Amino acid sequence: MARAGLSPRAVVDAAIAVVDADGPAALTLAAVAARTGVATPSLYKHVAGLGELRTLVSLRVLEEVGEVVNAAAVGRSGDAAVAAVMQAWRRYVLDHPRRYMLLPLAPHADPMLEAAAKRLLEVFFAVLAGYGLGGADAVHAIRRLRAAVHGFASLEAAGGFAMAEDVGTSFDGLVEMVVASLRPPGDQAHPAVVGRR
């Protein structure tokens, strides 16, 4: 029997649950229908098909990442803000490794994702403004930061760091590398900027 109150948001919630439980490859309309208690054709009242549903899931993940990094940046500036943003991003990946795999890599190419992508980008531009970075310099810095935290956290979530040494210590070193790359030449590192969780 169909569950009362099914909505596009509830369909996305169910899709996220499928992904969290079984991974992105398990996301099918049939799996979502089973989780929501409706026949598969009933989902078409809420989404146009699997392609749109995957986009909506990607949008949710993009929005969630944006929310956590924005919350981390609030009230901080400079190295402390960058460290907090990187730690928050890493924590999201570790807490939600399967749904994170659906984070869109080129969200600006999709009109459905563009606004959320812009909001996330604005957080980074605001954080980097504390270093006097703008324009092309800020874009290059954002790319470095994004590549560093995405790559590290994705490898960590996939079990890619098997040696006994503490992974958090390795990440702290990565944060220090990133913040050092943002400082003006001659500006010395501030002690204890990482402030690991």
Q: Is residue 55 part of a domain?
A: no
Q: What percent of the chain has pLDDT over 70?
A: 91
* 76 and 43 within one domain: no
Interval 58-82 mean pLDDT? 97
pTM beyond 0.75: the answer is: yes
* 104 and 38 within one domain: no
What are the pLDDT digits (tens) for 164-189?
Answer: 999 999 999 999 999 999 987 666 55
Q: What is the dihedral of CA 173, 76, 149, 132, to 10 degrees?
A: -90
* 70 and 14 within one domain: no
- Round the average pLDDT of the chain to a whole number and report it: 92
Which residues span the domain enclosing 168? 61-182
Q: Is residue 29 part of a domain?
A: yes
For residue 20, what is the domain's CATH number? 1.10.10
For residue 144, what is the domain's CATH number? 1.10.357.10
Long-range pairs of 172-176 with CB within 8 A, sequence gap ≥ 24: 172/196, 174/86, 174/148, 174/149, 175/82, 175/83, 175/86, 175/87
Question: DSSP characters for the chain?
Answer: -PPTT--HHHHHHHHHHHHHHH-GGG--HHHHHHHHTS-GGGGGGT-SSHHHHHHHHHHHHHHHHHHHHHHHHTT--HHHHHHHHHHHHHHHHHHSHHHHTTS-SSGGGSHHHHHHHHHHHHHHHHHHHTTT--HHHHHHHHHHHHHHHHHHHHHHHTT---SSS-HHHHHHHHHHHHHHHHSPTTPPPPTT-----
Report the pLDDT value the prediction gives residue 1, as an integer from 0 to 100.
Answer: 37
* 175 and 137 within one domain: yes
pLDDT for residue 197 is more than 50: no
Report the pLDDT value the prediction gives residue 46, as an integer from 0 to 100.
Answer: 95
What are the pLDDT digits (tens) for 22-54?
Answer: 999 999 999 999 999 999 999 999 999 999 999
* 66 and 42 within one domain: no
Report the pLDDT value the prediction gives residue 132, as an integer from 0 to 100.
Answer: 93
Interval 85-91 mean pLDDT? 98
Q: How many CB atoms lie within 10 A of CB 82?
A: 28
pLDDT for residue 96 is more than 80: yes
What are the pLDDT digits (tens) for 110-150?
Answer: 999 999 999 999 999 999 999 999 999 999 999 999 999 99
* 102 and 75 within one domain: yes
Q: Is residue 194 part of a domain?
A: no
Report the pLDDT value the prediction gives residue 186, as an integer from 0 to 100.
Answer: 63
